[in-house]
A and B are shown apart, each in its own frame.
Chain A
Amino acid sequence: MGKIIAVHSYKGGTGKTLVSLNLAATLAKRGKKVCLFDLDFRAPSLSTLLKVEKAGFWLNDYLNGTCEIDRVLLDLSDRIGNSGKLFVALANPTTEAIRDMTAKDRKWEMRALGRILALRNSLLGDKGFDYLIFDTSPGLQYSSINAVVSADLVVVATTFDRSDVDGTRRMLRELYDLFEKKTEVVLNKVLYDVSSTSGMGQMQAKVKDLYQVPLLGIIPCFCDVLRGEGNIVFAQDKPEHPFTKILDGIASKIDGMS
Protein backbone atom coordinates (compact mmCIF):
# COMPACT_ATOMS: atom_id res chain seq x y z
CA MET A 1 0.00 0.00 0.00
CA GLY A 2 1.05 3.62 -0.63
CA LYS A 3 2.01 6.29 1.87
CA ILE A 4 0.48 9.44 3.31
CA ILE A 5 2.93 12.31 3.78
CA ALA A 6 1.98 15.42 5.78
CA VAL A 7 4.11 18.51 5.13
CA HIS A 8 3.89 20.69 8.22
CA SER A 9 5.76 23.50 9.99
CA TYR A 10 5.63 25.57 13.14
CA LYS A 11 5.66 28.96 11.44
CA GLY A 12 4.25 30.17 8.16
CA GLY A 13 6.49 30.98 5.19
CA THR A 14 8.87 28.08 5.72
CA GLY A 15 8.11 26.56 2.30
CA LYS A 16 5.47 23.91 3.01
CA THR A 17 3.50 24.59 -0.15
CA LEU A 18 6.66 24.92 -2.25
CA VAL A 19 7.91 21.56 -0.96
CA SER A 20 4.49 19.82 -1.15
CA LEU A 21 3.75 20.94 -4.70
CA ASN A 22 7.19 20.18 -6.08
CA LEU A 23 7.45 16.90 -4.18
CA ALA A 24 4.09 15.80 -5.62
CA ALA A 25 5.15 16.79 -9.15
CA THR A 26 8.55 15.08 -8.72
CA LEU A 27 7.03 11.81 -7.47
CA ALA A 28 4.52 11.89 -10.36
CA LYS A 29 7.39 12.47 -12.80
CA ARG A 30 9.02 9.38 -11.35
CA GLY A 31 5.97 7.41 -12.53
CA LYS A 32 4.00 7.41 -9.29
CA LYS A 33 0.28 8.00 -8.84
CA VAL A 34 0.13 11.00 -6.51
CA CYS A 35 -2.58 13.20 -5.03
CA LEU A 36 -1.76 16.57 -3.47
CA PHE A 37 -4.21 17.91 -0.86
CA ASP A 38 -4.57 21.53 0.19
CA LEU A 39 -5.40 21.20 3.88
CA ASP A 40 -4.59 24.86 4.58
CA PHE A 41 -8.22 25.96 4.83
CA ARG A 42 -7.31 29.29 6.45
CA ALA A 43 -5.13 30.41 3.58
CA PRO A 44 -5.70 28.14 0.56
CA SER A 45 -3.08 28.64 -2.14
CA LEU A 46 -2.86 25.60 -4.43
CA SER A 47 -5.79 26.68 -6.62
CA THR A 48 -3.91 29.91 -7.39
CA LEU A 49 -0.49 28.29 -7.83
CA LEU A 50 -1.91 25.62 -10.13
CA LYS A 51 -4.09 28.17 -11.92
CA VAL A 52 -7.26 26.17 -11.37
CA GLU A 53 -10.04 28.71 -11.49
CA LYS A 54 -13.03 26.49 -10.89
CA ALA A 55 -13.53 23.21 -9.11
CA GLY A 56 -16.91 21.44 -9.09
CA PHE A 57 -16.29 20.25 -5.55
CA TRP A 58 -13.73 21.29 -2.96
CA LEU A 59 -12.01 19.36 -0.21
CA ASN A 60 -14.26 21.37 2.13
CA ASP A 61 -17.28 19.55 0.62
CA TYR A 62 -15.72 16.13 1.22
CA LEU A 63 -14.96 16.99 4.85
CA ASN A 64 -18.47 18.38 5.27
CA GLY A 65 -19.79 15.01 4.09
CA THR A 66 -21.62 16.44 1.08
CA CYS A 67 -19.68 14.51 -1.57
CA GLU A 68 -17.31 11.59 -1.99
CA ILE A 69 -13.58 12.16 -2.55
CA ASP A 70 -13.57 11.19 -6.25
CA ARG A 71 -15.77 14.23 -7.01
CA VAL A 72 -13.08 16.49 -5.51
CA LEU A 73 -10.01 15.13 -7.30
CA LEU A 74 -8.78 17.06 -10.33
CA ASP A 75 -6.56 15.20 -12.78
CA LEU A 76 -3.53 17.33 -13.74
CA SER A 77 -1.54 14.41 -15.16
CA ASP A 78 -1.31 16.06 -18.60
CA ARG A 79 1.01 18.68 -17.04
CA ILE A 80 3.47 15.97 -16.02
CA GLY A 81 3.80 14.38 -19.44
CA ASN A 82 4.89 10.83 -18.64
CA SER A 83 3.40 7.68 -17.14
CA GLY A 84 2.95 9.28 -13.72
CA LYS A 85 -0.38 10.59 -12.44
CA LEU A 86 -0.89 13.84 -10.54
CA PHE A 87 -4.22 14.66 -8.95
CA VAL A 88 -5.09 17.53 -6.63
CA ALA A 89 -7.80 18.12 -4.03
CA LEU A 90 -8.19 21.84 -3.47
CA ALA A 91 -9.40 23.95 -0.56
CA ASN A 92 -12.07 26.51 -1.34
CA PRO A 93 -10.30 29.91 -1.37
CA THR A 94 -13.41 32.12 -1.00
CA THR A 95 -13.67 34.26 2.15
CA GLU A 96 -17.02 32.68 2.98
CA ALA A 97 -15.52 29.18 2.88
CA ILE A 98 -12.54 30.24 5.02
CA ARG A 99 -14.92 31.77 7.57
CA ASP A 100 -17.03 28.61 7.55
CA MET A 101 -14.01 26.36 8.12
CA THR A 102 -12.71 28.44 11.05
CA ALA A 103 -16.07 28.16 12.85
CA LYS A 104 -16.23 24.36 13.01
CA ASP A 105 -16.82 22.67 16.38
CA ARG A 106 -15.00 19.71 17.96
CA LYS A 107 -17.60 17.22 16.80
CA TRP A 108 -17.10 18.35 13.20
CA GLU A 109 -13.33 18.11 13.58
CA MET A 110 -13.72 14.58 14.90
CA ARG A 111 -15.76 13.62 11.83
CA ALA A 112 -13.22 15.37 9.57
CA LEU A 113 -10.49 13.21 11.12
CA GLY A 114 -12.59 10.14 10.30
CA ARG A 115 -12.95 11.25 6.68
CA ILE A 116 -9.22 12.00 6.33
CA LEU A 117 -8.38 8.61 7.85
CA ALA A 118 -10.82 6.99 5.38
CA LEU A 119 -8.67 8.25 2.46
CA ARG A 120 -6.20 5.47 3.25
CA ASN A 121 -8.72 2.82 2.20
CA SER A 122 -10.45 4.76 -0.57
CA LEU A 123 -7.39 6.24 -2.33
CA LEU A 124 -4.34 4.20 -1.29
CA GLY A 125 -6.36 0.97 -1.20
CA ASP A 126 -9.15 1.01 -3.79
CA LYS A 127 -7.77 3.59 -6.25
CA GLY A 128 -4.14 2.45 -6.05
CA PHE A 129 -2.50 5.81 -5.27
CA ASP A 130 1.18 5.59 -4.31
CA TYR A 131 1.32 8.86 -2.38
CA LEU A 132 -1.11 11.28 -0.77
CA ILE A 133 0.65 14.53 0.11
CA PHE A 134 -1.05 16.83 2.63
CA ASP A 135 -0.06 20.49 2.50
CA THR A 136 -1.12 21.90 5.88
CA SER A 137 -1.57 25.12 7.87
CA PRO A 138 1.35 26.06 10.12
CA GLY A 139 1.24 25.42 13.86
CA LEU A 140 -1.35 23.66 15.95
CA GLN A 141 -4.45 23.97 13.77
CA TYR A 142 -7.11 21.28 13.84
CA SER A 143 -6.79 20.52 10.11
CA SER A 144 -3.01 20.20 10.42
CA ILE A 145 -3.12 17.88 13.41
CA ASN A 146 -5.77 15.80 11.63
CA ALA A 147 -3.31 15.53 8.74
CA VAL A 148 -0.39 14.64 11.04
CA VAL A 149 -2.43 11.96 12.84
CA SER A 150 -3.41 10.38 9.49
CA ALA A 151 0.10 10.44 7.99
CA ASP A 152 2.78 7.73 7.74
CA LEU A 153 5.53 10.34 7.45
CA VAL A 154 5.62 13.95 8.64
CA VAL A 155 7.96 16.22 6.70
CA VAL A 156 8.68 19.33 8.74
CA ALA A 157 9.70 22.36 6.71
CA THR A 158 11.87 24.60 8.85
CA THR A 159 14.42 27.41 8.66
CA PHE A 160 17.25 28.47 10.98
CA ASP A 161 15.18 31.41 12.23
CA ARG A 162 15.40 31.28 16.02
CA SER A 163 11.65 31.42 16.68
CA ASP A 164 11.05 28.70 14.11
CA VAL A 165 13.76 26.45 15.60
CA ASP A 166 12.37 26.72 19.14
CA GLY A 167 8.77 26.17 18.00
CA THR A 168 9.73 23.23 15.78
CA ARG A 169 11.60 21.58 18.65
CA ARG A 170 8.52 21.94 20.85
CA MET A 171 6.27 20.47 18.17
CA LEU A 172 8.60 17.51 17.70
CA ARG A 173 8.38 16.76 21.42
CA GLU A 174 4.78 17.68 22.09
CA LEU A 175 3.02 16.71 18.87
CA TYR A 176 4.77 14.26 16.54
CA ASP A 177 6.35 12.24 19.37
CA LEU A 178 3.05 11.90 21.20
CA PHE A 179 1.43 10.48 18.06
CA GLU A 180 4.52 8.29 17.47
CA LYS A 181 4.99 9.70 13.97
CA LYS A 182 7.99 9.09 11.76
CA THR A 183 9.30 12.62 11.25
CA GLU A 184 12.01 14.07 9.01
CA VAL A 185 13.15 17.66 8.53
CA VAL A 186 13.61 19.72 5.36
CA LEU A 187 15.78 22.76 6.02
CA ASN A 188 14.72 25.59 3.75
CA LYS A 189 16.22 29.01 2.89
CA VAL A 190 19.69 27.92 3.94
CA LEU A 191 22.45 30.48 3.32
CA TYR A 192 25.45 28.14 3.75
CA ASP A 193 27.42 26.63 0.91
CA VAL A 194 25.71 23.26 0.69
CA SER A 195 27.75 22.18 -2.32
CA SER A 196 30.71 21.42 -0.06
CA THR A 197 30.71 18.01 1.62
CA SER A 198 31.91 19.46 4.92
CA GLY A 199 29.12 22.08 4.85
CA MET A 200 26.56 19.33 4.35
CA GLY A 201 28.07 17.25 7.16
CA GLN A 202 27.98 20.21 9.55
CA MET A 203 24.39 20.91 8.66
CA GLN A 204 23.35 17.30 9.24
CA ALA A 205 25.09 17.31 12.61
CA LYS A 206 23.42 20.59 13.56
CA VAL A 207 19.94 19.29 12.63
CA LYS A 208 20.55 16.03 14.48
CA ASP A 209 21.67 18.00 17.53
CA LEU A 210 18.73 20.44 17.40
CA TYR A 211 15.86 18.12 16.53
CA GLN A 212 17.00 14.51 17.10
CA VAL A 213 15.34 13.47 13.83
CA PRO A 214 16.81 12.71 10.38
CA LEU A 215 17.46 15.43 7.82
CA LEU A 216 15.52 14.72 4.62
CA GLY A 217 16.98 17.57 2.60
CA ILE A 218 18.55 21.02 2.54
CA ILE A 219 17.20 23.71 0.23
CA PRO A 220 19.40 26.77 -0.20
CA CYS A 221 17.87 30.23 -0.51
CA PHE A 222 17.32 30.39 -4.28
CA CYS A 223 16.61 33.84 -5.69
CA ASP A 224 15.01 32.08 -8.70
CA VAL A 225 12.30 30.69 -6.42
CA LEU A 226 11.45 34.20 -5.23
CA ARG A 227 11.71 35.55 -8.77
CA GLY A 228 9.23 32.92 -9.92
CA GLU A 229 6.59 34.67 -7.77
CA GLY A 230 4.64 31.43 -7.50
CA ASN A 231 4.23 31.17 -11.27
CA ILE A 232 6.69 28.32 -11.69
CA VAL A 233 6.37 24.70 -10.61
CA PHE A 234 10.11 24.00 -10.75
CA ALA A 235 9.78 20.21 -10.91
CA GLN A 236 7.62 20.66 -13.98
CA ASP A 237 8.94 23.81 -15.68
CA LYS A 238 12.66 23.81 -14.79
CA PRO A 239 13.88 20.18 -14.75
CA GLU A 240 17.57 21.19 -14.75
CA HIS A 241 17.36 23.76 -11.94
CA PRO A 242 19.31 22.87 -8.74
CA PHE A 243 16.07 23.23 -6.74
CA THR A 244 14.45 20.53 -8.89
CA LYS A 245 17.50 18.29 -8.39
CA ILE A 246 17.27 18.71 -4.61
CA LEU A 247 13.56 17.85 -4.66
CA ASP A 248 14.39 14.80 -6.76
CA GLY A 249 16.86 13.72 -4.08
CA ILE A 250 14.17 14.14 -1.40
CA ALA A 251 11.64 12.18 -3.51
CA SER A 252 14.21 9.44 -4.04
CA LYS A 253 14.81 9.15 -0.28
CA ILE A 254 11.06 8.99 0.39
CA ASP A 255 10.58 6.42 -2.35
CA GLY A 256 13.30 4.26 -0.80
CA MET A 257 11.72 4.29 2.67
CA SER A 258 10.14 1.02 3.81
Chain B
Amino acid sequence: MAEKEVLGRKPLLVLEKIRENLERLNDKMEVMIELQKHGRKDFQPLPDAPLDVMTLLSMPDHLRKTAMTVCRLGRATADEISQQTTRARAVESAYLNQLVIMGYLKKERKGRKAYFYVDRESKEGT
Protein backbone atom coordinates (compact mmCIF):
# COMPACT_ATOMS: atom_id res chain seq x y z
CA MET B 1 0.00 0.00 0.00
CA ALA B 2 2.79 2.37 1.04
CA GLU B 3 4.73 1.50 -2.10
CA LYS B 4 1.67 2.25 -4.24
CA GLU B 5 1.33 5.72 -2.66
CA VAL B 6 4.97 6.53 -3.37
CA LEU B 7 4.57 5.41 -6.96
CA GLY B 8 1.37 7.45 -7.24
CA ARG B 9 2.96 10.61 -5.91
CA LYS B 10 6.17 10.45 -7.90
CA PRO B 11 4.76 11.49 -11.29
CA LEU B 12 3.00 14.40 -9.60
CA LEU B 13 6.23 15.58 -8.01
CA VAL B 14 8.01 15.31 -11.34
CA LEU B 15 5.26 17.30 -13.04
CA GLU B 16 5.42 19.91 -10.28
CA LYS B 17 9.18 20.20 -10.76
CA ILE B 18 8.74 20.59 -14.53
CA ARG B 19 6.14 23.33 -13.96
CA GLU B 20 8.46 25.21 -11.57
CA ASN B 21 11.32 24.98 -14.06
CA LEU B 22 9.06 26.19 -16.88
CA GLU B 23 8.01 29.17 -14.78
CA ARG B 24 11.65 30.04 -14.05
CA LEU B 25 12.44 29.71 -17.75
CA ASN B 26 9.50 31.97 -18.53
CA ASP B 27 10.76 34.60 -16.06
CA LYS B 28 14.20 34.54 -17.63
CA MET B 29 12.74 34.86 -21.14
CA GLU B 30 10.64 37.82 -20.06
CA VAL B 31 13.77 39.54 -18.74
CA MET B 32 15.68 38.82 -21.95
CA ILE B 33 12.81 40.15 -24.07
CA GLU B 34 12.62 43.26 -21.89
CA LEU B 35 16.36 43.90 -22.10
CA GLN B 36 16.30 43.45 -25.86
CA LYS B 37 13.39 45.92 -26.18
CA HIS B 38 15.44 48.58 -24.44
CA GLY B 39 18.63 47.77 -26.32
CA ARG B 40 20.44 46.60 -23.19
CA LYS B 41 22.39 43.62 -24.50
CA ASP B 42 25.46 44.59 -22.47
CA PHE B 43 23.54 44.31 -19.21
CA GLN B 44 25.64 43.56 -16.12
CA PRO B 45 23.87 42.38 -12.97
CA LEU B 46 24.58 44.37 -9.81
CA PRO B 47 24.58 42.46 -6.53
CA ASP B 48 22.37 43.96 -3.77
CA ALA B 49 22.11 47.56 -4.95
CA PRO B 50 20.19 49.73 -2.44
CA LEU B 51 16.84 50.95 -3.74
CA ASP B 52 17.03 54.45 -2.26
CA VAL B 53 15.20 57.54 -3.53
CA MET B 54 18.17 58.81 -5.57
CA THR B 55 18.27 55.44 -7.36
CA LEU B 56 14.51 55.66 -7.96
CA LEU B 57 14.98 59.16 -9.40
CA SER B 58 17.64 58.03 -11.86
CA MET B 59 15.68 55.01 -13.13
CA PRO B 60 13.88 54.98 -16.48
CA ASP B 61 10.19 55.89 -16.03
CA HIS B 62 8.84 52.41 -16.77
CA LEU B 63 10.99 50.77 -14.08
CA ARG B 64 10.48 53.57 -11.53
CA LYS B 65 6.73 53.02 -11.61
CA THR B 66 7.15 49.31 -10.84
CA ALA B 67 9.86 49.87 -8.19
CA MET B 68 7.80 52.59 -6.45
CA THR B 69 4.80 50.27 -6.29
CA VAL B 70 6.89 47.50 -4.68
CA CYS B 71 8.25 50.07 -2.18
CA ARG B 72 4.70 51.10 -1.31
CA LEU B 73 3.24 47.59 -1.06
CA GLY B 74 6.29 46.15 0.71
CA ARG B 75 5.94 42.68 -0.81
CA ALA B 76 3.85 41.78 -3.81
CA THR B 77 3.29 39.46 -6.77
CA ALA B 78 3.42 40.63 -10.39
CA ASP B 79 -0.36 40.34 -10.42
CA GLU B 80 -0.75 42.68 -7.41
CA ILE B 81 1.68 45.18 -8.92
CA SER B 82 -0.17 45.14 -12.25
CA GLN B 83 -3.44 45.94 -10.46
CA GLN B 84 -1.83 49.10 -9.04
CA THR B 85 -0.04 50.25 -12.19
CA THR B 86 -2.83 49.17 -14.57
CA ARG B 87 -0.23 47.64 -16.88
CA ALA B 88 -0.33 44.01 -18.05
CA ARG B 89 0.86 41.32 -15.62
CA ALA B 90 3.41 40.01 -18.14
CA VAL B 91 4.85 43.53 -18.52
CA GLU B 92 5.15 43.94 -14.75
CA SER B 93 6.66 40.48 -14.45
CA ALA B 94 9.35 41.45 -16.97
CA TYR B 95 10.12 44.76 -15.19
CA LEU B 96 10.17 43.06 -11.77
CA ASN B 97 12.59 40.41 -12.97
CA GLN B 98 14.75 43.10 -14.52
CA LEU B 99 14.83 44.90 -11.15
CA VAL B 100 15.80 41.61 -9.48
CA ILE B 101 18.70 41.14 -11.90
CA MET B 102 19.77 44.75 -11.32
CA GLY B 103 20.03 43.88 -7.61
CA TYR B 104 17.27 46.28 -6.44
CA LEU B 105 14.61 43.68 -5.60
CA LYS B 106 14.58 40.19 -4.15
CA LYS B 107 12.34 37.41 -5.35
CA GLU B 108 10.96 34.56 -3.30
CA ARG B 109 8.82 31.67 -4.43
CA LYS B 110 6.07 30.41 -2.15
CA GLY B 111 4.23 27.51 -3.76
CA ARG B 112 2.97 28.70 -7.13
CA LYS B 113 3.42 32.40 -6.38
CA ALA B 114 6.54 34.54 -6.78
CA TYR B 115 6.82 37.48 -4.36
CA PHE B 116 8.98 40.53 -5.00
CA TYR B 117 10.27 42.77 -2.19
CA VAL B 118 12.95 45.30 -1.22
CA ASP B 119 15.52 43.64 1.00
CA ARG B 120 16.05 46.41 3.54
CA GLU B 121 17.59 44.33 6.31
CA SER B 122 20.38 42.40 4.58
CA LYS B 123 23.36 44.63 5.43
CA GLU B 124 23.97 47.08 8.19
CA GLY B 125 24.36 50.73 7.20
CA THR B 126 25.98 53.44 9.29
List residues of A whose CB falls within 8 A of some B CB: 103-111, 113-114, 117, 142, 145-146, 149, 175, 178-180
Contacts and interface: CB of A to CB of B under 8 A. Distances in A.
Contact of A178 (B61, B71, B74, B121): B61
A103 B54 contact: no
A109 B54 CA distance: 10
B123 A114 contact: no
A205 B126 CA distance: 47
A36 to B, nearest CB: 22
Nearest to B56: A149
Contacts of A142: 52-54
The main secondary structure of chain A at its interface with chain B is helix
Interface in B74-126: 74, 118, 120-121, 123-126
B68 interface: yes
Contacts of B64: 178-179
B48 to A, nearest CB: 9
B2 interface: no
Contact of A145 (B53, B118, B120): B53
Listed from nearest, the 10 A-B pairs whose CB atoms lie closest are A108-B125, A107-B125, A145-B53, A110-B52, A110-B50, A106-B50, A109-B52, A106-B52, A114-B120, A111-B120
A111 B124 CA distance: 10
Contacts of A109: 50, 52-54, 125
10 contacts: A107-B50, A107-B124, A109-B53, A109-B125, A111-B120, A114-B118, A117-B71, A149-B68, A178-B57, A180-B65
Contacts of A105: 125-126
B72 to A, nearest CB: 6
B121 to A, nearest CB: 8
A149 B53 contact: yes
A107 B52 CA distance: 7
Nearest to B48: A107
Nearest to A100: B126
Nearest to B58: A178
Contacts of A179: 56, 64, 68
B61 A108 contact: no
B32 interface: no
Nearest to A145: B53
Contacts of B57: 145, 175, 178
Given A110-B120, A149-B68, A178-B61, A103 B126 contact: yes
A110 B118 contact: yes
